[in-house]
């Protein structure tokens, strides 16, 4: 019997050794193909890139996976406790694998059941980082082996850090910091016990515990986690009971742009980042981008531009509803499906429920919950006849028709835009998205920092940026470039030019430019020519000094890369952008120094290292270790001087005259030291105004995207200047009224406004003019262009492009 027992024992031992050898061989085989766990040391997950305004306000976030990486030291203990309680309460004591749980999973699998979980946090790190989601025994073994190795190579805190920054929480949120923002719009430090417990319940299955679709299930799972936290001693029973009594309180963070007035600016920054670093850097690199945008200035610019576009548009009548829907049943659902203007929050979509002689009864577009579901409650209101007065002139088949009653304009089912009246609960005014568009830029002339950008009425309606992308004729707003070239090359503000008829001959084609009002004024000074925006004087001036010089200055100022040297171009008939024009005027405003327009101040990588800084000025002594009565350090401006500072002052002084008594006189009502120039293109297709104080340059245009006339008499002074005025009134409020600085060495001499000659004391019609050293008023009366026939100075035939320019335009009519 003993021999038999020994026999079976020997067989058993042999089988056990064979099994152990088999297991060892299997593990060895599996271990050979394991991925390198050392990659965890170089872990750089996709991280959210964030764009901030100049004051630090968050403007936008871009990410394929919404994640903000946090070191373990920055994660609060209650948050760590929630995840340990939910996922792996023995995390700090086991060797990487829960032997009991693993054994249970293996037995179930061998018995024919499904492959179960039971993974520790270390195993989840191994799976998420190094393995696939395949549910098999081999993957489970690989996971266990890797877990042992990871535990030997890394500290528990490092493993937990990797886990908490990698896991998926739903709604494209990755990592606990991203989840806190996505679900509660909070940092992890602000999370309550209940909120931390809910987030800890999500990794098991975010879709199963969706706070909107499965709220009861989500609360049940959260409360179980809270119970585990109490059982493990992380919170007291009283704290646990209080946390369980709280609602989920999910308040999702909005995505995309956060500064509703800055969408065009943000998109421009996005394009620049992609062009500079590529898409992966933007959507995965975790960049921190500090921009130049000033939120207060941006809001002022947006309001001024929108009001100006609306004022012009409403005078042209009402073009009809957005669309029509059926209101015989539940109108909330079809109305909720109509796309509104997210970046014009003052407006709401509404549907006409009834129309009569006194006005409209309307239903407002229902609000949406965070889940996207439409709120059931319906809100109704009214629009009186007076609050839709502009619509009494409505456009039918391209013709304006006068209506007697609101019922003649709108009928039940028509979807419209409305805006709530101030101080009213349910009274609204009718609104219409303007057909006319425009672009505006506000810039610091000393640095080129773009403080505000308006690319159109609404980014939701049109993403085309008219401030940077629209190529438009600048019209007479280009004339200061021509006059700057003249003043830099021997002419003075008192030089006299003939304002009279001129004909330019080009082969068999002739061009006879005219002043906007069709009149001529005879001899007049350069100052008068720019104040009154006289085309004939500008053409004669350009002809006298040569278009090659005008081209040189236009390109030096950055208005154009390549400008054709044809006389019509002197009147602004070449196309450019608002950004380029504002940059050119900044040169005149800052004393003649070249500037590079910038939207980004600095960029930092995910580790906080500055990888780009716009300000390249040097500063010797700024980093001195201590103060030893040395002089205060100064920034060294290395900008190129592209215009004589005295010339810059002269053209600025002349443009002050535009505001004080010229085509931009409406702006003079502000009582500020402002210089500027109006611009109107052929057939009144575009209206411009660009102006500046010593520290702020603002430029804008108004026009249709498909150019067509704005209407007879629609000039830069009548349309664009009032928008500029409205902007400056608010933007400059509370700031000192700084005068333009006269460069040292300039001579201020009283001259006769008409003749440009020195004036005697007490003479009427005098003006103080600035002259460079060695120059002054003419000793004798001399008129540039007197008797000139305006013929082509070169004597040869111009190219077809020149002929086309001559035929197409006088450009810059006013």
Q: Is 386 a catalytic residue?
A: no
3-state class of 292 per DSSP?
coil
CA-based R_g, the chain, Å: 36
3-state class of 696 per DSSP?
strand
Query: Which of the following is catalytic: 87, 151, 284, 769?
Result: 87
User: Who's near 6: CB < 8 A, 6+ residues apart?
Assistant: none
Distances (CA, A) of 670 to 497, 568, 679, 690, 724: 31, 34, 20, 16, 11
Distances (CA, A) of 337 to 304, 340, 372, 374, 432: 30, 9, 11, 10, 19
- Given phi > 0 = left and psi -120 to 50 = alpha, else beta, which region is 787? left
User: Who's near 327: CB < 8 A, 6+ residues apart?
Assistant: 351, 352, 353, 363, 412, 413
3-state class of 205 per DSSP?
coil
Beta bridge partners of 453: 441
Determine the angle formed by the axes of helices 175-184 and 156-166, rounding to 10 degrees.
Answer: 40
- Given phi > 0 = left and psi -120 to 50 = alpha, else beta, which region is 364? beta
Query: Which of the following is catalytic: 476, 495, 506, 528?
Result: 476
User: Who's near 216: CB < 8 A, 6+ residues apart?
Assistant: none
User: Who's near 622: CB < 8 A, 6+ residues apart?
Assistant: 633
Determine the angle formed by the axes of helices 547-556 and 535-545, rounding to 10 degrees.
Answer: 100
360 vs 389: CA distance, rounded Å: 12
CA distance between the termini of the chain: 123
351 vs 344: CA distance, rounded Å: 18
86 vs 104: CA distance, rounded Å: 19
3-state class of 630 per DSSP?
coil
Which of 518, 674, 667 lies closest to 588 in space, CA to CA? 674
DSSP assignment of 247-274, as one string?
-----PPP-SBSSTT-HHHHHHHHHHHH
DSSP assignment of 377-438, as one string?
---EEEEESGGGGGGGEEEETTEEEE-SSGGGT--TTEEEEEEEPTT-SSEEEEE---S-EE
Contact 740, 457 (CB under 8 A): no
Q: Is 377 a catalytic residue?
A: no
Residue 196, both tokens? 């931390």
DSSP state of 214: S
Contact 758, 777 (CB under 8 A): yes
Which of 805, 717, 309, 705 lies closest to 472 in space, CA to CA? 705
Which of 119, 221, 208 lies closest to 170 in space, CA to CA? 208
How are the residues of the chain apportioned to helix, strand and coil, as percentages rounded to the nearest 5?
40, 20, 45
Label residues 170-179 b or e (16+ Cβ within 10 Å = b): bbebbbbbbb
678 vs 478: CA distance, rounded Å: 9
3-state class of 531 per DSSP?
helix
Contact 363, 335 (CB under 8 A): yes
3-state class of 619 per DSSP?
coil
Catalytic (active-site) positions? 87, 476
């Amino acid at each position: 019997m003993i021999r038999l027992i020994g026999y079976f024992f020997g067989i058993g031992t042999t089988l056990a050794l064979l099994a152990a050898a088999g297991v060892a061989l299997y593990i060895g085989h599996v271990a050979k193909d394991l991925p390198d766990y050392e990659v965890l040391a170089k872990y750089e997950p996709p991280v959210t890139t964030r764009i901030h305004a100049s004051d630090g306000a968050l403007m936008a976030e871009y990410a394929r996976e919404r994640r903000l990486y946090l070191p373990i030291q920055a994660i609060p203990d209650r948050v760590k406790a929630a995840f340990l309680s939910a996922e792996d309460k023995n995390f700090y004591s086991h060797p990487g694998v829960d032997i009991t749980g693993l054994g249970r999973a293996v037995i179930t699998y061998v018995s024919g059941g499904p492959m179960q979980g039971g993974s520790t946090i270390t195993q989840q790190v191994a799976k998420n980082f190094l393995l696939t989601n395949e549910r098999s025994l081999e993957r489970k073994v690989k996971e266990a082996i890797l877990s042992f190795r990871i535990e030997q190579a890394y500290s528990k805190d490092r493993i937990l850090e990797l886990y908490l920054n990698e896991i998926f929480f739903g709604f494209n949120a990755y990592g606990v910091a991203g989840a806190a923002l996505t679900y509660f719009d909070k940092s992890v430090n602000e999370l309550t016990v209940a909120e931390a417990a809910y987030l800890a319940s999500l990794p098991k299955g975010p879709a199963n515990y969706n706070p909107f679709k499965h709220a009861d299930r989500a609360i049940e799972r959260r409360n179980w986690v809270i119970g585990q936290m109490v059982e493990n001693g992380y919170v007291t029973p009283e704290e646990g009971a209080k946390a369980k009594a709280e609602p989920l309180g999910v308040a999702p963070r909005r995505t995309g742009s956060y500064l509703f007035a800055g969408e065009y600016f943000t998109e421009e920054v996005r394009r620049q980042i992609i062009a500079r670093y590529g898409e992966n850097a933007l959507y995965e690199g975790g960049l921190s981008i500090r921009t130049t945008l000033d939120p207060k200035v941006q809001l002022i610019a947006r309001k001024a531009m929108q009001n100006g576009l609306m004022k012009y548009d409403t005078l042209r009548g009402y073009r009809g509803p957005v669309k029509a829907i059926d209101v015989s049943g539940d109108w909330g659902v079809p109305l909720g499906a109509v796309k509104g203007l997210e970046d014009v929050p003052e407006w709401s979509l509404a549907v006409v429920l009834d129309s009569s002689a006194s006005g409209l009864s309307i239903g407002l577009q229902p609000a949406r919950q965070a889940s996207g579901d439409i709120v059931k409650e319906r809100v109704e209101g009214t629009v009186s006849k007076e609050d839709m007065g502009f619509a009494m002139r409505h456009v039918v088949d391209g013709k304006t028709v006068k209506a007697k009653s609101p019922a003649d304009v709108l009928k039940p089912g028509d979807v419209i835009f409305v805006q709530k009246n101030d101080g009213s609960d349910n009274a609204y005014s009718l609104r219409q998205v303007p057909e006319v568009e425009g672009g505006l830029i506000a810039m610091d002339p000393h640095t080129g920092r773009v403080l505000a950008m308006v690319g159109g009425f609404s980014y939701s309606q049109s993403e085309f940026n008219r401030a940077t992308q629209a190529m438009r004729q600048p019209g007479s707003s280009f004339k200061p470039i021509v006059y700057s070239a003249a003043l830099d090359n021997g002419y003075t503000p008192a030089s006299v030019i003939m304002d009279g008829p001129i004909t330019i001959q080009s082969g068999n084609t002739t061009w006879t430019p005219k002043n906007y009002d069709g009149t001529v004024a005879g001899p007049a000074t350069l100052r008068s020519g720019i104040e009154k925006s006289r085309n004939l004087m500008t053409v004669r001036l350009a002809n006298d000094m040569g278009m090659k010089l005008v081209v040189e200055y236009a390109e030096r100022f950055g208005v154009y890369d390549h400008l054709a040297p044809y006389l019509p171009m002197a009147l602004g008939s070449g196309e450019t952008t608002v950004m380029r024009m504002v940059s050119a005027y900044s040169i005149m405003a800052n004393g003649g120094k070249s500037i590079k327009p910038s939207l980004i101040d600095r960029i930092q990588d995910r580790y906080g290292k500055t990888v780009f800084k716009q300000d390249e000025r040097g500063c010797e002594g700024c980093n001195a270790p201590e103060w030893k009565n040395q002089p205060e350090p100064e920034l060294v401006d290395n900008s190129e001087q592209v215009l004589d500072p005295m010339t810059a002052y002269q053209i600025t002084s002349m443009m002050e005259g535009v505001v004080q008594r010229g085509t931009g006189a409406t702006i003079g009502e502000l009582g500020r030291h402002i210089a500027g120039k109006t611009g109107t293109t052929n057939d009144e297709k575009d209206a411009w105004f660009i102006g500046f104080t010593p520290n702020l340059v603002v430029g804008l245009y108004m026009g249709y995207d498909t150019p067509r006339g704005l209407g007879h008499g629609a000039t830069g002074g009548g349309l664009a200047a009032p928008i500029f005025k409205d902007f400056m009134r608010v933007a400059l409020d509370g700031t000192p009224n700084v005068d333009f600085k006269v460069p040292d060495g300039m001579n201020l001499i009283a001259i006769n406004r008409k003749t440009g000659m020195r004036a005697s004391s007490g003479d009427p019609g005098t003006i103080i003019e600035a002259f460079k050293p060695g120059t002054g008023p003419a000793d004798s009366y001399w008129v540039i262009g007197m008797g000139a026939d305006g013929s082509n100075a070169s004597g040869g035939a111009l190219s077809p492009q020149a002929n086309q320019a001559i035929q197409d335009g006088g450009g810059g009519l006013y």
